[in-house]
Amino acid sequence: MKTDIILSNPADKVDLPKIEEYKPKFYTSDEVKTLLNEVLGTKLEIPVMIDCFYGFRRSEVIGLKWSAVDFEKETITINHTITQSNGKLIIRDKTKTKSSKRTLPLEPIVKSFLIELKEKQEKNKQLCGNSYNQDYLEYICVDDGGNIIRPDYVTETFLKLLKKKKLKIIRFHDLRHTCASILLKNGANMKEIQAWLGHSNYNTTANLYAHLDTSSVNDVGKVITNVFGIKKEAVTA
Where does 25-169 sit in CATH, by number? 1.10.443.10
Q: What is the pLDDT of residue 213?
A: 46
Q: pLDDT by residue (tens digit) across 35-63?
A: 999 999 999 999 999 999 999 999 999 99
Q: What is the pLDDT of residue 210?
A: 55
Q: pLDDT by residue (tens digit) across 192-217?
A: 888 888 877 766 666 666 555 444 44
Structural contact between residues 70 and 105, judged by C-beta atoms closer than 8 angstroms = no
Q: How far apart are CA 182 and CA 104, in angstroms?
A: 17
Q: How far apart are CA 128 and CA 147, in angstroms?
A: 12
Structural contact between residues 198 and 78, judged by C-beta atoms closer than 8 angstroms = yes
pTM (predicted TM-score): 0.75
Q: What is the pLDDT of residue 212?
A: 56
pLDDT under 50 in the chain at which residues?
213-218
